[in-house]
Amino acid sequence: MQDSFVTDSALQEKLYNALREHPMERVFSFVYDDRKYFVKRHIRNKRWRLRFGGQHGYNREVNKMKTVAQACGLAPKVLVDTPEYFVTLSGGDTLAHLIHPAQADDSVLEAAFYRAGQGLAKLHAAGFSHGRPVLRDIVYDKQSETVQFLDWENDYHLKCMDDKVMDVLLFIHGYFREKVVCPQALTAAVAGYTDTARGQATIEKAQMFFKNKTCLMKSLYWLARFGWVDLLALTMTNDCLLLGDILKFL
């Protein structure tokens, strides 16, 4: 991976000051010329090395972001990259931020989630998968009405499941993990995804995954009674896909 450098000396100074002010933070932001930038560090401790693949995992994330940004604009453009950190421009508010009651605006929310579903489908159509498209890793810009996907370090693959199907399941599962009752948002996201050429086929594959796991899901429904968030979200994802009407179980 080649280093890139800031040509604006004032921006460079602001970046270096931000790095000094946040010596222990892996991800942080700073503002320059009324624009918000994010810095993400490559952490070299043992935990991150084991979880995300060390330098190789870091390089993979940066390279994938560059490839996706160039191919379809659904990842932030990497403005600066070094072996220690990279810098991107903010692409808007996360869906996790927008969906909570204090921020909720129905028209903005539905537009954001529709674009998110549509964006995920376009990402898949371009030949990419994200790995974990949860609400905190998807941003929406209200002015341009565009979405971008963040956090490309996840490299999960299952032999028994298409990567696109996994993305869809993790998106819906991530929605239910937020514990916010906002069915119009999820409905808009599914509509955005299925309004694309191949979206409906991927949704049907996700439905088939649960249809083929009836015995397993019965056990998980029983375990979900203990209140484990991930299991509750998984059972609700199952209901969402198989019932087809979100309002039936919210």
Tokens of 78: 């990497």
Tokens of 62: 């940066």
pLDDT at residue number 52: 55
- DSSP secondary structure string for all residues of 163-221: HHHHHHHHHHHHHHHTT---HHHHHHHHHHHHTSTTHHHHHHHHHHHHHTTHHHHHHHH
Asked if 131 contacts 164 with a C-beta cutoff of 8 angstroms, the reply is no
Distance of alpha carbon 16 from the chain centroid: 28
The listed CATH number (3.40.1710, 3.40.1350, 3.30.9, 3.30.200) that belongs to domain 9-89: 3.30.200
Q: What is the distance between the alpha carbons of residues 119 and 137, in angstroms, rounded to a whole number?
A: 13
pLDDT at residue number 51: 55
DSSP letter at 91?
-
Q: Maximum distance among all alpha carbons in the chain?
A: 61
pLDDT at residue number 74: 98
What does each of the 250 residues of the chain score in pLDDT, given as a tens digit? 444 556 678 889 999 999 999 998 999 999 999 999 999 998 755 555 545 567 788 889 999 999 999 999 999 999 999 989 999 999 999 999 999 876 667 889 999 999 999 999 999 999 999 999 999 999 999 999 999 999 998 877 788 889 999 999 999 999 999 887 788 999 999 999 999 889 999 999 999 999 988 888 889 888 888 888 999 999 999 988 887 654 444 4
Which helix (DSSP H) or strand (DSSP E) does residue 92 occupy? none
pLDDT at residue number 8: 76
Alpha helices in 83-182 (DSSP H): 95-99, 106-125, 163-177
What are the domain boundaries of the chain?
A: 9-89, 93-248
pLDDT at residue number 2: 45
- DSSP secondary structure string for all residues of 132-159: ---GGGEEEETTTTEEEE--TT----BT
